[in-house]
Structure 1
Amino acid sequence: MLNKIKKQGFLNRISSLIIVQVIFVFAALFLIIFNYSTEGSVSKQINEVGKYQTISNEISGYLEDNISSLTTDNLRYEYIEGELASYDEILKAEILTTDKDNKLTPIFSYINSVQSVTNEIPQTYIESIAEHMISEFNKSNLKSQFAPIIYNTNNIINLLPLKNNQKTEAVLVIVSNHDFIISNRSELSYAIFLLFLIATLFSLLTVYLIFNRFKWPLNKLIYGFKKTARGELYELMEPEGDVELRALTSAFNEMSKTLWENSTQLKKSNDELEESNYLLSESRSYFKTLIEQSPDSIVVTNFSGNITFYNDKAGKLFGYKKDEIIEQHIDKFFTQPVMNTINNTDNELNGVELLAKTLDEELIPVYCIASSIEDDKSNDIAFLFIIRDISESKDFQEMMIRVDRYYTRGEMAGDIAHEINNYLAVLSGNLELMPLFMKKGQNEKIVSKLELMRKTVDNIARFANGLMDPNQDEAVFEEADINQLIENVLAFLKPQNRFDGVQINTDLSTDLPLVEFDISQLQQLIINLVYNSAEAMQQIEKEKVINIYTQPGNEGDGTVRVIICDNGPGVQSDKKEILFKKRFTTKRKGHGIGLVTCQKIIEVHSGDIGYEYDEGAKFFFDIPLKQKSKEKISEEEKASTVYGN
């Protein structure tokens, strides 16, 4: 653990190597750029060459006996010694010459008594270089040469040739001090080369460390990152390189593990989410199908009553397209404001019968249930309306028949009262005459008046038989003569003012058996059709004629057909499709429920009703001779419900 702490990281080592390289490079540059000592030494050496060349020439003159006063060798040597002593820097001097065997022999020696050589120079060294120099000097044609040799940092050996007849026979060796630094150029070049070599080695080491300890591990790490980026999340790398890269690799491995764990968890969550979305989609599709296929109209509004959802059944019921009704107020559907009713009943409608309005302004009876929709905090945010068309229900059919009956009765009230008053007037007048005839004993007149009164009562009875029972709701089937029913109804209708100027003809088949029917409802049916014919002919100027026929139905089908036709304008061709289905009237003040009621009555009797144009309006209906029992009808209705027929 301690070694790991003390071990320098890769970047620290690279930094150290770079610093060392910089030091070596700057040292080499310093030697190259700032080598002033060498330049100064060269200048001084040039001066020394001049000085020692002068000494060499003088001493050569002495030896060649150019000076006549110097007749002996001792005098010459003394004079030479005095000349050398004048130079303080000369520490030692001697003249070496060659004998007949070409061996060097010292013939003169001088030692400075004041200064001495810092380091004693071996005589053998001096003789060897002197011998070498004499040989080198003789090879040259120059008159004088100078050869300085640096022995150490303080002493320098100067070799000066002493010539005789242009031949060097002796060498003057002078050992002197010097105060300049002599640097050998080869040694300087070697030092500079060595510095650059070391710097190059450090550079190679740096490159090696970069590639081996940094680049390759880094490339592997980059490769791992690329694989991770491609989705291969669980990619673990072997830690390599120095501390920093190992730490980075460990961090990458930790990241890879975390990514793998998170990816696994994310995939699991995603799978669960996909499953939930699938179930939600299935649920939404299922509930949407339920709502769209619902037999009832379903409307959803916001809390203000504006429509936000509207199923297909509601579109068929009200006639609006979805884009036409969305954001419209729910009260648009009803003849009375339902939102006020909901707000006053704790945001609920527990099933009420309302009158709805369609796009065509048709009024439809509906059964409506409304309830509020709450959010998670139990706050009301919307309302759900379930609306059912009850115009086809049995109760509504009975109500329609009853309403039409009441309406017809109300329309006939004036005519009924007028007709009954006529009959009562006849009875009242005859009753007043009876006492007079009795006093006078006019029995024939009494009998005549009684007969008239009896006929009047019969007429009243026949008229009364044409009236409907307003309190009878359920159909009561009984066998009766349908021709007699028609005669009774016409006897009731003909005296009414609305039939003034209308000729009513009958052609009733005598071959009809008794028929099972509800007398009150069939009276209502015939009255409605005859009324419609009379009303339709009000505006025509030609003779107004209503013809009523009865005849057996198609052979073998066990029905009776009743036909009521007129010579009026008939029904408009574009309205034929809605006859008996929707409330339809050509009267300015008509209620439009007569033909719908006729259809309901025929359905109660398991018959058929229709219309066609035959030089006027022609209505006909067929009813079976025998009606099914209630028990049998109930069983068939149950089977129809089960098998969907």
Structure 2
Amino acid sequence: MADRPQTPHSVVPREGEARLKAILETAVEGIITIDERGRCESINPAAERMFGYSAHEVVGQNISMLMPEPYSSEHDGYLNSYLATGHRKIIGIGREAVGLHKSGRQFPIQLSVSEIKLERGRLFTGIVHDLTEQKEAERRLVQSERLAVLGEAMTRLAHESRNALQRIQIAVEVARLHGEGNDPLATQLDAIERANDALNALLEELRNYAAPLHLERKRSSLVTIWREAWSAVGFQRSDRDVEFAEETDDELLKCHADRFRLGQVFRNLFENALAACDDPVKIRVSGYPAQLEGNTAVRVVVADNGPGMDVEQRERIFEPFYTTKAKGTGLGMAIARRIVEAHGGTIAVEVSPLGGAALELVLPVEPPRAEKPVQSD
């Protein structure tokens, strides 16, 4: 029997290296290797996309560049402690952590680290999974459950409260009839009426926030929608020095949307901008084509020249009942986010090119396949 041809020893390592390279380059999860000094030795394409850096920007650098504070400063100390004591906090265990994108954006990750001992030293391999979508889905689920409970409670509360408020209004009107000419009494009755109106407005806003959203989508011009919203806040800008500018192409900003609901969103953004800015006020609306999760979308940015937002305001602006105004329920931006997300879109805070705050809306052009939009305008 003839001897089988022997495969040269050099071929096997080359095939193994090619196979390993293919696995790393096609892996869905981010894979990063570092040495004992915390310097990056390799980063696969998935991790490059996740953190926004190219390989040549990261390889050779301390991996702490991919971590926000205080984790970035603590990383080398943890690594040195492990090498000296063998006490593990994450290696071989895995945990949730926070990643730092090149843009400065922080995002949640699941990090699993394994250790390899080589002749030249130890090598640590980190497998990184972006938890952003999972955390957002969890947030929406919790919000949906809370809204269901709140909606049920609001139905009972609104019924009982409106009856009481109507009785207050009737009592005020009767008191006015019997107190004509009594100026001090009239002043107090005016105050009662204002309080009554404020409670009615609060109940209505709570109802709007808690009620299920049923969108009536049709192909609409976002330019037309925000122009109608701008007209609706005319009373707030009367006798003020206000400059309103647009940067857009009407034909590029059409999508299937609920015109009334998005009008609510734009009115809220304009009201907030006018309330935040001192004269002279500058408000600019910019619109562009965009992409959202691989689908055709439109992007609209409402920017102002006000004082902007501090870190707390940026983090809490969409929380229910959070407000920096002397008056207001703090539900406006929470309702705006519900409406935008019901459309399958996103809303976020940006730094305004005018020096103040900017709110960015990204909306899909087409509705989900499960929805059937009504006729176009």
TM-score (norm 2): 0.48
TM-score (norm 1): 0.31
Identify the structure with the greater helix proportion: 1
- Structure scoring higher RCO (CA < 8 A, sep ≥ 6) equals 2
Say which one has the larger Rg: 1
